[in-house]
Amino acid sequence: MTQRRVLLALRQASQVDRLLSVATGLCRRMEAELEVLADPARSDWAELESRIDSLRQTGSPARLTPLPGIDAKAVVEHARGHECVISVVVGRPKAWAKEGPDPWGRLDCPLVAATDHPDWPEET
């Protein structure tokens, strides 16, 4: 049986602490593993690797997947290519959008906007 998976997609401007908290909480409630998608050129890549290792050491299944030049289209394609993905977590969905059609409309699973709250700073 394939393990259910929650994807957490990180942009360079993403609030990592907030997004990890939301994604790991969702994983616990849904009995799913966590997959973090991020550009390996991030300045905090080593810290992300360390955080994922810490999650695994505490018994939470997690992995960090490098996705160079990450954008919404690549996240949607990754999610659609894995039938085990049950949810995608991002900061502000609109911050990912470029000009053109909404890329999130092609997702086959729920999209969770973890920082789409008026009291949180804008994600650029």
Q: Give the mean pLDDT per block of 10 residues along the chain (124 residues).
A: 88 87 95 96 94 94 96 94 95 78 89 70 50
Residue 75 has a pLDDT of 96
pLDDT score at 44:
93
Query: What residues have CB less than 8 Å from 66, skipping those under 6 apart?
Result: 38, 39, 40
**What pLDDT score was predicted for residue 124?**
47
Token pair, residue 78, equals 């990754």
What pLDDT, on a 0 to 100 scale, did the predictor assign at position 58? 93
pTM listed for this prediction: 0.89
| Interatomic CA distance for residues 29 and 54, integer angstroms | 19
**Predicted pLDDT of residue 36:** 98
CATH of 5-113, one of 3.40.50.620, 3.30.2310.20, 3.40.190.10, 3.40.50.300: 3.40.50.620
Distance CA 9, CA 61 (A): 17
Q: By CB neighbour count within 10 A (0-12 exposed, 13-18 middle, 19+ buried), where does 55 fall?
A: buried
Phi, psi of 97 (to 5 degrees): -70, 135
Start-to-end Cα distance in the chain: 39
